[in-house]
Amino acid sequence: MPRDRKKQDDDGGADWMTTYGDMMTLLLAFFVLLYSFSSLDANKFKMMIEGLQGKLGVLKGGKTISSAPMIDAGLNSQRSGARQLSDLNTKVEEYIRDQGLEEDVETKITDKGLTVRFTGKVLFDLGEAEIKEDAKEILNNMAQFIKTVPNDVMVEGHTDDLPINNSEFPSNWELSTARATNVIRYFIENDNVDPTRLSAAGYSKYKPIVPNKSLENRMQNRRVDIVILRMDQQQKEGALDG
């Protein structure tokens, strides 16, 4: 009997520790959840609560406790922004066709936004960052397209893998950044685009779209991308800047 009683005590202790461990795990999860809430802004938190009410408060008639105006507004805003970019893409593509630029300029809508991609020979001479004279009219028209939407714009400079090292550009980092910056300066100084909407980035040779294995491929990788950001994407960029 004493031996059986000891065995029962040992089993009871093990059960108690299991319950205690579960409680500690739940407390840790609770505090992690609280910490994650602290990084949400008020609007996103309200949208989350409304979504939760919708999941938990379904009535017989199919209606939720809350009409979720924040969620509806967010979805409507996203749809409106997507339509704006789609319409703008159509206009830019029409301009590209009218000007016979199909081989050197293309557009693409991605999760990031609307990208208008210029091969290097359109805007700049090889190894240079000064905008070509015959490219300025193209940029003037691009600026007018940009002004029709409220979205922020990022200009990205890219090079091929051929090294450069001179007094002006010690490497492709400086060259790609200078090209992006010069496009932005042109938009501001010649077309009065709001500078608060603009940003520049240089990626050197490190984001090729095709392998740098031929002359034709290198011409594609030497490019400038004008990215008209989606509204939700520019909010992410702003949060990172903050």
Written as tens digits, the pLDDT of the chain (242 aa) is 555 555 555 555 567 777 777 788 887 777 777 666 665 555 665 666 666 555 445 444 444 444 555 445 444 455 667 888 999 999 999 999 999 999 999 999 999 999 999 998 999 999 999 999 999 999 999 999 999 999 999 999 999 999 999 999 999 999 999 999 999 999 999 999 999 999 999 999 999 999 999 999 999 999 999 999 998 766 555 555 55
In this structure, the answer to whether residues 30 and 93 fall within a common structural domain is no
The last residue of one of the domains, among 49, 70, 91, is 70
Phi then psi for residue 107, to 5 deg, are -120, 155
Quickly count helices (H) and strands (E) in the chain: 8, 5
| CA–CA dist 12, 7 (Å, integer) | 9
Strands of the sheet with 223-229, listed across from one edge = 105-109, 113-119, 223-229, 153-158, 198-202
| CA–CA dist 198, 221 (Å, integer) | 23
The pTM of the full predicted model, rounded to 2 decimals, is 0.67
CATH number for position 223: 3.30.1330.60
Phi then psi for residue 35, to 5 deg, are -65, -40
| Domain boundaries, position 115 | 79-241
In this structure, the answer to whether residues 51 and 111 fall within a common structural domain is no
